[in-house]
Amino acid sequence: MKTYDFAVVGGGLVGSAIAYGLAKAGHRVAVLDEGDVAYRASRGNFGLVWVQGKGLEMPSYSQWSMSSASLWPSLSEELWDLTDVATQHQAPGGVHLCYSQREMDLRQADLTSLAKATGGQFDFAMLDHQQLREMIPEIGESVAGASWSRWDGHANPLYLLRGLHAGFLRCGGTFLPGSKVHRVHQRGDSFVIEREGERVQAERVVLAAGLGNRLLAPQVGLHAPLVPNRGEILVTERMRPLLNLPTTYLRQTGEGSILMGDSHEDVGFDEGTETPVLSHIAQRAVRALPALANTRIVRTWGALRVMTPDGYPLYQASLSHPGAFVACCHSGVTLAAAHAKRLAPWIAGDSLPSEIAPFTAERFDVQTVIPA
Amino acid sequence: MTTHDLVILGSGPAGMAAAATAVAYGITALVVDEQPAPGGQIYRSIESTPLKERRILGDDYWHGKALVDGLDDPRIDYRPGTTLWQLTRRLEVGLLQGGHASMVQARHVILAHGAMERPFPIPGWTLPGVMTAGSGQILLKSAGLAPSAPVVLAGCGPLLLLLAVQYLRAGIPIAALLDTTPAGQYWDALPLLPGALRNSRTLLKGLGLLAELRRAGVRHVRHVTALEAEGEDRLERVRWQCGNDPEWHCLTTPLLLLHQGVVPNTQVTRALDCAHDWDERQLAWQPRRDPWLATDVEGVAVAGDAGGIVGAKASAMQGQLAGLGAAIALGRVSEDKIHGEVKRLRRDLARETAIRPFLDVLYRPAVHWRLPEDETLVCRCEEVTAGEVRRMAEQGCRGPNQTKSFTRCGMGPCQGRMCGLTVSELLADANGQSVAETGYYRLRPPFKPITLGQLATAAEDTSG
């Protein structure tokens, strides 16, 4: 059996970014992915490269996100050079819309404390209705204002995934689609990854299987207490340019369609859509941009976020099974550049990026001890 | 949200028969149809067609009159011009009527929304002036509309022949009928002929159509093996090759009508995530159904061509069967009580559908019509070629959903109706796996366009 340097379990955005980073550095890497239908958060997400408001309770998450946002242009460029796939990445800054003065005040307080906690690295501005209107001429009357941050942007998540896959193949990676991995175990100095009718051997293994990590992590001495969290998204037909910068729940794609949605639903493994939720998303979108009222919806969908108990990422090397790693987060687009350019080198043996030191699973144990 | 015992989607033969059967058991039925009048595609505009001369559209068309009259019943709430944009596994039904969206709750649902035409991707099929034969027939039935210049019909299947004859009778000139039925298929179908004789009426009708075309001197070109539509901004010429002859033939025409059979429209059953099977004989997906035509989603049955192509008469019989199934499911009658009626119905259904294996084999589109060359567009909405789909298979895409993510193929407003079958077959071929393993697009609501403004009020309005 051929032994790879690394086997990455999971061909979504997290796994593909890490695998791409590893392959680009010259390692022999295999990605094991499922078949055509699976819980694929990476194919259902919104496409923000987003910083503002993230990490209110954990400033290192904000710093990690900023690091990735800074690395995004170079990731996008190298994927274009390598594969001709354009991620449509743009970083014009982004806004979070507020519908009342009270929302404005709360937002300002949150972001001020975040700016402080990051030593001023994160910066933002509050915009009143008039200032916002200068940026988005068709903004609705009932929008009070917004917070704006230069750190924010967006990209096409599907083209990012396609570019990472193509780049990975270009760098000599081996892509093995087919079925779910059900067993990972150590044998001698290497790992054996098993799935229906197939075994793959690698010196090191990276578990990036999204919600699938829950069952795989314990097999190599790791802990991944993940839960699905559903988000529903709507996409419209193509429109004239209407929104030249992304907002937290509304963005115009490179093709001209408008994407909307930011629901957070605890519904287990149900990827469906619910009319009341969709209806609410539509109401808010029309409030933000009244011109959308007569726009046709092409498709709606639900996708499952990969959530840790506190919502922050989980990156960890196994102590009991040296060479095994787990990586999960629900911001696969934002963090793609950091995963390819900073996390992958750590997995390959470099020192740990300082921002991610807190993102181990031990923090969940502490939380369960402290009474709520 | 208002609750309805029975919601029927579609007022074609299956839907109308299902409604008439169910109300006889004291059930009130809500029948929704996006068309302005009942009849479905087969009996379209039966109450209003300007072609009153009976022989043009034929006796089979006018046969639908009795079914349509049956809709006029106080227990049937028939809503024309109403689209279904959402149906959940909990039987919440999203309707859009006159620009107004609403949700109703159903206890039982019969999907009788019929068939759609199989995609026929040839070079140039996206040019204005190239249409499907089905669209050509819709224009003829509903508006008496027909081209003035001679038209070219190309493809295979009973509908194509029927349309040719209907055009002929309406005095519309036909430049040529280009028949793509592969030469050997008449022999392949022959062993199935004895079975087909159980429904000799349909068989004779088909032979009658062919004879009528021959008598009228319509240029009927057989064994067409290559076909292209050409023109600058719109269709100007049709080119074709026959058999192994390398010579290209050419005709100037402003209108080409393409057709290579009909397949079940599975958009709604796919969105419900019903189990589907690939039918290798009909080369199409069918929702998996029990003897009462119920799917594996509780409370949802599929009747008529939406469940597998059976034709208008058998569709009406399936509608009756599904209507009886609804009456049982809703506790209005016991299975024992209607045992005899059901037995007769199933026997008639078997006789009526006995001709299908013969027709399916005879008019099976050859593989090269289903797997186009690399340069041919497959997804019209997002302009994805067959070659790009094949490249995605090389990059590791095992099925249409991964391909859709990477290329936008199937992501446009038609929701994959125009490319889905082609993409599944292309990927199956490129990956060396079966179509069943390859799968089909996962579909999502809305099934039909709805605006944000309409959706914004959908959840509030419970008056439906």
Q: What is the pLDDT of residues A338-351, one digit of tens each?
A: 999 999 999 999 99
Sole residue written with tokens 């990605």? A31
Look at strands A257-260 and A250-252 and give their pairing: antiparallel
Q: SS3 sequence, chain B? A: CCEEEEEEECCCHHHHHHHHHHHCCCCCEEEECCCCCCCCCCCCCCCCCCCCCHHHHCHHHHCCHHHHHHCCCCCEEEECCEEEEEECCCCEEEEEECCEEEEEEEEEEEECCCEEECCCCCCCCCCCCEEEHHHHHHHHHHHCCCCCCCEEEEEECHHHHHHHHHHHHCCCCEEEEEECCCCCHHHHHHHHHHHHHHHHHHHHHHHHHHHHHHHCCCCEECCEEEEEEECCCCCCEEEEEECCCCCCEEEECCCEEEEECEEECCHHHHHCCCCEEEECCCCEEEECCCCCCECCCCCEEECHHHHCCCCHHHHHHHHHHHHHHHHHHCCCCCCHHHHHHHHHHHHHHHHHHHHHHHHHHHCCCCHHHHCCCCCCEEECCCCEEHHHHHHHHHCCCCCHHHHHHHHCCCCCCCCCCCCHHHHHHHHHHHHCCCHHHHCCCCCCCCCCCEEHHHHHHHCCCCCC
pLDDT band of residue A372 (cuts 50, 70, 90) is very low
AA identity, residue B167: Y
Instruction: Verify whether the Cβ–Cβ distance A292 to B457 is below 8 Å.
Output: no
Sole residue written with tokens 């909990």? B90
- Above pLDDT 90, what percent of chain A? 85
Q: How far is CA A328 from CA A305, B249, B262, in A?
A: 10, 60, 46
Specify the 3-state DSSP secondary structure of A42.
helix
Using a CB–CB cut-off of 8 Å, the residues of B that contact A are 86, 88-89, 92, 94, 103, 395-402, 405-408, 411-413, 415, 438-439, 442, 444-446, 449-453, 455-460
CA distance B103 to chain A (A): 8
Q: What is the pLDDT of residues B70-123, one digit of tens each?
A: 888 999 999 999 999 999 999 999 999 998 999 999 999 999 999 999 999 999
At residue A40, the pLDDT reads 83
- Mean of all residue pLDDT scores within chain A: 93
Chain pair A-B, CB pairs under 8 angstroms: 115
At residue A370, the pLDDT reads 43
At residue A19, the pLDDT reads 98
pLDDT at B130 over 80: yes
What integer is the mean pLDDT of A266-290? 88
What integer is the mean pLDDT of A2-15? 96
CA distance A214 to chain B (A): 24
- Cα–Cα distance for residue pair B273/B291, rounded to 1 Å: 20
Q: How far is CA A162 from CA A83, B94, B350, in A?
A: 9, 34, 49
At residue B460, the pLDDT reads 67
Q: Where do the domains of chain A lie? A: 3-79+157-225+310-364, 94-149, 227-307
Both structure tokens of A299 = 């498709």
- Above pLDDT 70, what percent of chain B? 97
Contact by Cβ (8 Å): A3, A322: no
Interface probe with B: pick from A31, A36, A83, most Cβ of B within 10 Å: A36
At residue A366, the pLDDT reads 54
- Cα–Cα distance for residue pair B228/A368, rounded to 1 Å: 68
Find the closest chain A residue to B439 by CA distance. A36
Candidate from A236, A275, A294 with C-beta closest to B94? A275
CA distance B273 to chain A (A): 10
Find the closest chain B residue to A276 by CA distance. B459
- Cα–Cα distance for residue pair B9/A362, rounded to 1 Å: 54
Instruction: Verify whether the Cβ–Cβ distance A282 to B92 is below 8 Å.
Output: no
At residue A270, the pLDDT reads 80
Instruction: Verify whether the Cβ–Cβ distance A293 to B92 is below 8 Å.
Output: no
pLDDT at A369 over 50: no
* Domains of chain B from N-terminus onward: 2-116+263-333 (3.50.50.60), 119-260 (3.50.50.60), 371-433 (1.10.10.1100)
At residue B200, the pLDDT reads 82
At residue B50, the pLDDT reads 75
Look at strands B100-111 and B300-302 and give their pairing: parallel
CA distance A35 to chain B (A): 6
Q: Look at A364 and B235; give whichever has higher pLDDT.
A: B235
Look at strands A227-238 and A257-260 and give their pairing: antiparallel
Which is nearest to A163 in space by CA: A70, A24, A64? A24
At A365, which helix (H) or strand (E)?
helix A362-369
Instruction: Verify whether the Cβ–Cβ distance A282 to B456 is below 8 Å.
Output: yes
At residue B439, the pLDDT reads 96
Sole residue written with tokens 């008639």? B348
At A368, which helix (H) or strand (E)?
helix A362-369
Instruction: Verify whether the Cβ–Cβ distance A298 to B413 is below 8 Å.
Output: yes
Instruction: Verify whether the Cβ–Cβ distance A293 to B453 is below 8 Å.
Output: yes
At residue B68, the pLDDT reads 83
Full-model pTM: 0.91
Q: What is the pLDDT of residues A36-59, one digit of tens each?
A: 887 788 888 899 999 999 999 999
Give the distance between the most distant pair of CA atoms in chain B.
Answer: 66
Question: Which chain A residues are closer than 8 Å to B459 by Cβ?
Answer: 275-276, 278-280
Question: Which chain A residues are closer than 8 Å to B401 by Cβ?
Answer: 36-37, 43
The neighbouring-strand residues paired with A248 are none
pLDDT band of residue B337 (cuts 50, 70, 90) is very high
Q: Would you identify the CATH topology of the domain A227-307?
A: D-Amino Acid Oxidase; Chain A, domain 2 (3.30.9)
At residue A371, the pLDDT reads 42
Q: Which residues of B348-383 are buried (b: 16+ CB within 10 A; e: fewer)?
A: ebeebbbbbbbbbbbbbbbeebbbbeeebbbbbbbe
The ipTM estimated for the assembled molecules is 0.87
Q: What is the pLDDT of residues B21-43, one digit of tens each?
A: 999 999 999 999 999 888 777 77
CA distance B100 to chain A (A): 12
Give the distance between the most distant pair of CA atoms in chain A.
Answer: 66
pLDDT at A290 over 90: yes
pLDDT at B191 over 80: yes
DSSP structural state of residue A90:
B
What integer is the mean pLDDT of B259-270? 96
Instruction: Verify whether the Cβ–Cβ distance B449 to A272 is below 8 Å.
Output: no
pLDDT at B463 over 60: no
pLDDT at B464 over 80: no
pLDDT at B146 over 80: no
Candidate from B92, B401, B442 with C-beta closest to A275? B92
Instruction: Verify whether the Cβ–Cβ distance B401 to A37 is below 8 Å.
Output: yes
CA distance A298 to chain B (A): 6
pLDDT band of residue B1 (cuts 50, 70, 90) is confident
Instruction: Verify whether the Cβ–Cβ distance A295 to B452 is below 8 Å.
Output: yes
- Above pLDDT 70, what percent of chain A? 98
Specify the 3-state DSSP secondary structure of A46.
coil
* Domain A3-79+157-225+310-364 of CATH type 3.50.50.60: yes
- Cα–Cα distance for residue pair B181/B160, rounded to 1 Å: 12
Find out whether the peptide bond into B446 is cis, omega within 30 degrees of 0: yes
Instruction: Verify whether the Cβ–Cβ distance B399 to A37 is below 8 Å.
Output: yes
Instruction: Verify whether the Cβ–Cβ distance A299 to B449 is below 8 Å.
Output: no
